[in-house]
Amino acid sequence: MKLERITLENFRQYFGRQRLDFAKDKQHRVTVIHGVNGAGKTSLFLAINWCLYGEGVSNVGELISKEAIKLASSGENVEMSVELSFTHDGERYLVKRSRHGTKMFDGSIQVNSADEFIVMRILWDGQAQTIKNPIGTINAILPSNIRSYFLFDGEKIDGFAKPEAAKEVKEAIYLVFKLETLDRARGHLETAASDYRKELKTATSGELRGLLDEDEKAREELKRKEDRKAEIGIELDVARRKVADIEQRLREIQNVRFLQQQRDRIEQDLKVRRAELEDVQNQIRDITTTSYFTLVQPVIGRALHLLDEKRERGEIPSNIRRQFVEDLIAEMRCICGRPFTDGSPEHLRLLRIIDNTLPGALEDEVLDISATLRTFNGRAHRQRDDLTIHMKRRAELVDLIKDLDAEADDIGRRLKDSPLEEVSRLELQRQSFLADIDRYNTDTGSLARDIDSLKERISQLEKRIGQARKNEKKEKLLGIKFDLAQRAADAIKDMYQTYADDMRLRIEAKTKEIFKLLIWKDSHFQDVRLSPDFDLEVIDRYGRPARPELSAGERQVLSLSFITAMSRISEEEAPLVMDTPFGRLSSQPRNNITKFLPDLADQLVLLVTDEELRDQARANLEPRIGREYRLQFDSKTSCTRIEEVR
């Protein structure tokens, strides 16, 4: 930032509109503003701060010119403003902050709402473009929290050199070199890492591994069972083929052929009967599972009784629809065709029926349900009859199957006991294979049940694994986030330390260089150190810390050296605006400072008393002064006028 011009309007003692241009070329970069005590140097210094940063810059008190308020009429609007133009990074900016007030009848001023603050950028074609985020823009150019190191009050200039100032020094370095940003980033990352660590602790762990083990075992078990079932299936086919082969062989043996043929017929019959039995049992099942209504015959009876009772009381028509009754009344004719007269018993009865009839929908329901329920008795009889018939047929089939089984057994026994050795052996083998087939069937059934159960278990496990995977994914993500946050925090911490140390050493070297230039007892002070704890120390010729013994002027020089060193190292393009900088200095240090300071700042604005800048000091600055003003305080009006001297 390089200041161009400031325009004040009714700001404190600056009544009306007054303007001041700042020196800014390389050779003539010093602006000197003279003023006796109370002339308005501090107000001008304050105007720059207020314009850029608004309230809160310090205890500003009343800002609107008392003279302007006095001259305004009651109810008249009074405007106060400060305009500042400056360049920064090749761009030109106009900043205006203003405040409006209305003069009250008692002479006081009622300030209207908040200050107006606008920042405009001047484009290449001279057009002004309003910036939508003025506060952000100013803070980006010269952050509010570091401004006091560039726009500073001479009264406080020795602050950094006081023995207890380590904290301030550290803070200044933090702010100017943006170490604060790094430190904040480290803090945020450590907080994030801590949050992730806590979350990780509550996240599930190890569950997925256990479930996957369980799933793997279940799948291995399933595969074993399925393989075994397939093997049994093959063995079953083999056994059936063997039985078929044996039976074929028995059909070929002359003496027993008829027995085998008889057995073939029995087996065929058994197959048919068993299929019929299955079918009958299915029908029994269908009849039985829908026979529930037979249980509640008495309840149906009670419901019908209730419906009948209501009908007998005339509350429900006996199957006579309302429309039909209305038609009879319209025709004045009885249901039997006989006409009746108005008020006759028939007429009155029909009218009563109409009065008692139910609403349409309910009437329909009542009629339908009454009719349906009356069929339930017959339906129950039919259901029972069907069930009896099917149960009887089932019993017949069971007996028939038993008989056929007995016949087949008998044939088997006869073949086994056959005197023909081959026949006996074949039948024994057949029976052995049939036993195997039974066993295989049992095993297959058992395996099928196990397989179903395993599949169900695997399905359940898959669901649980899916959920656990989600949890684990979250866990992994958390782990990565935690690791990243912690490593980033550690890296920033290292970076911060390295950067801070580097900055500290560079500032130390530069402060020493400047201090040596500015101080008059350069041979007495041998060194300037900035310790890792940010203690700014001066070492005397005896190698001992000399800060406690520094005079006020020497402390001021040390502070100034530190500030200008920071300004040089930070490479921030900012002016040094110093209010009453040499008040405590004797002529020699003042001479030194005025000799070297213009080269240590890009732009120097000095608000001084005549006493502060005279003789050699004045002569030193002379070739570098670009602009010079005098603040003329009028004791009659208590107003200050800015007079251009050069």
Partner 1 sequence: MTDATPERDTVAIDSMAHDIYKQLTEGGNMLDVPFKTMKDVFMWAVCLGAQQGQKMPLTGKRISIFRWAQFDPQIDVPLLKAIAIAESGDVSILLRRNDILNIIEEYANAGIYELRARIFDEFGQPLWNLVSMVP
- Residue labelled with tokens 């595969």: 223
**Binding residue for partner 1 (CB under 8 A) from 144, 148, 262, 294?**
294
**Binding residue for partner 1 (CB under 8 A) from 70, 224, 302, 392?**
302
Strand partners, 540: 525
- Helix then strand count (H, E) for the chain reads 16, 14
Task: Tell me the backbone φ, ψ of residue 120, rounded to 5 degrees.
Answer: -125, 145
Write down the least CB distance from residue 234 to partner 1, Å. 24
Q: Does 310 bind partner 1 (CB under 8 A)?
A: yes
Write down the least CB distance from residue 367 to partner 1, Å. 11
Q: Does 304 bind partner 1 (CB under 8 A)?
A: yes
Helices (H), 256-340: 257-289, 297-312, 322-331
In the complex with partner 1, which residue's Cβ is closer, 368 or 409?
368
**Binding residue for partner 1 (CB under 8 A) from 102, 112, 291, 616?**
291
Write down the least CB distance from residue 388 to partner 1, Å. 10
- List the one residue out of 392, 394, 396 whose CA is nearest residue 281: 394
Write down the least CB distance from residue 266 to partner 1, Å. 25
Write down the least CB distance from residue 308 to partner 1, Å. 11
Q: Does 224 bind partner 1 (CB under 8 A)?
A: no
**Binding residue for partner 1 (CB under 8 A) from 198, 223, 257, 384?**
384
User: CB of 74 within 8 A of CB of 104?
Assistant: yes
In the complex with partner 1, which residue's Cβ is closer, 288 or 431?
288
**Binding residue for partner 1 (CB under 8 A) from 146, 316, 404, 426?**
316
Q: Does 303 bind partner 1 (CB under 8 A)?
A: yes
Q: With CB under 8 A as the contact rule, which of the stretches 99-107, 175-183, 219-227, 301-309 interacts with partner 1?
A: 301-309
User: CB of 617 within 8 A of CB of 587?
Assistant: yes
Write down the least CB distance from residue 279 to partner 1, Å. 11
In the complex with partner 1, which residue's Cβ is closer, 291 or 432?
291
Residue 580 CA, distance from chain mean position = 53
In the complex with partner 1, which residue's Cβ is closer, 105 or 292?
292
Work out the number of other CB atoms within 10 angstroms of the CB of residue 444.
Answer: 16
Query: DSSP per residue over 97-108, as a string?
Result: EEEEEEE-TTS-
Q: Does 401 bind partner 1 (CB under 8 A)?
A: no
Beta strand ranges found along 40-167 (DSSP E)? 77-88, 91-103, 109-122, 128-130, 151-153
Residue 427 to residue 421: CA distance in whole angstroms: 10
- List the one residue out of 599, 596, 594, 600 whose CA is nearest residue 614: 594
In the complex with partner 1, which residue's Cβ is closer, 293 or 596?
293
Per-residue binder mask for partner 1 (CB under 8 A), 155-174, x = binder: --------------------
Report strand pairing: 536-540 vs 525-530: antiparallel
In the complex with partner 1, which residue's Cβ is closer, 374 or 646?
374
User: CB of 115 within 8 A of CB of 99?
Assistant: yes
Q: Give the pair of three-digit tokens for residue 474.
A: 């979250």
Write down the least CB distance from residue 134 to partner 1, Å. 60
Q: Does 398 bind partner 1 (CB under 8 A)?
A: no
Strand partners, 6: 20, 84
**Binding residue for partner 1 (CB under 8 A) from 114, 330, 336, 361?**
361
In the complex with partner 1, which residue's Cβ is closer, 69 or 353?
353
Residue 265 to residue 245: CA distance in whole angstroms: 17
**Binding residue for partner 1 (CB under 8 A) from 204, 344, 372, 531?**
372
In the complex with partner 1, which residue's Cβ is closer, 395 or 420?
395
Write down the least CB distance from residue 328 to partner 1, Å. 24
Q: At what angle do helices 421-518 and 587-600 cross, to 10 degrees?
A: 130
**Binding residue for partner 1 (CB under 8 A) from 105, 124, 292, 542?**
292
**Binding residue for partner 1 (CB under 8 A) from 211, 307, 468, 608?**
307
Q: With CB under 8 A as the contact rule, which of the stretches 228-236, 360-368, 436-444, 492-500 interacts with partner 1?
A: 360-368
Write down the least CB distance from residue 310 to partner 1, Å. 6
Residue 54 to residue 61: CA distance in whole angstroms: 12
In the complex with partner 1, which residue's Cβ is closer, 369 or 495?
369
Q: Does 382 bind partner 1 (CB under 8 A)?
A: no
Helices (H), 22-133: 41-53, 66-71
Contacts with partner 1 by CB under 8 A: the residue count is 40
Q: Does 356 bind partner 1 (CB under 8 A)?
A: no
Q: Does 453 bind partner 1 (CB under 8 A)?
A: no
Question: Which of positions 260-289 make contact with partner 1 (CB under 8 A)?
Answer: 281-282, 284-285, 288-289
In the complex with partner 1, which residue's Cβ is closer, 181 or 282?
282
Q: At what angle do helices 421-518 and 207-252 cross, to 10 degrees?
A: 160
- List the one residue out of 425, 556, 577, 536 whose CA is nearest residue 6: 577
CA 382 → CA 179, 295, 379, distances in Å?
97, 14, 5
In the complex with partner 1, which residue's Cβ is closer, 184 or 302?
302
Q: With CB under 8 A as the contact rule, which of the stretches 24-32, 232-240, 299-307, 512-520 interacts with partner 1?
A: 299-307
Q: Does 378 bind partner 1 (CB under 8 A)?
A: no
Q: At what angle do helices 421-518 and 552-570 cross, to 10 degrees?
A: 130
User: CB of 559 within 8 A of CB of 586?
Assistant: no
User: CB of 336 within 8 A of CB of 350?
Assistant: no
User: CB of 454 within 8 A of CB of 218?
Assistant: yes
Residue 248 to residue 250: CA distance in whole angstroms: 5
In the complex with partner 1, which residue's Cβ is closer, 205 or 372?
372
In the complex with partner 1, which residue's Cβ is closer, 280 or 600?
280
Q: Does 446 bind partner 1 (CB under 8 A)?
A: no
User: CB of 471 within 8 A of CB of 171?
Assistant: no
Write down the least CB distance from residue 426 to partner 1, Å. 35
In the complex with partner 1, which residue's Cβ is closer, 353 or 465?
353
Residue 55 to residue 60: CA distance in whole angstroms: 8
Q: Does 293 bind partner 1 (CB under 8 A)?
A: yes
Strand partners, 537: 529
Residue 352 to residue 315: CA distance in whole angstroms: 9
Residue 17 to residue 9: CA distance in whole angstroms: 4
Binding site for partner 1 (CB under 8 A): 281-282, 284-285, 288-300, 302-304, 306-307, 310, 315-316, 358, 361-362, 365-366, 368-369, 372-373, 376, 379, 383-384, 387, 391
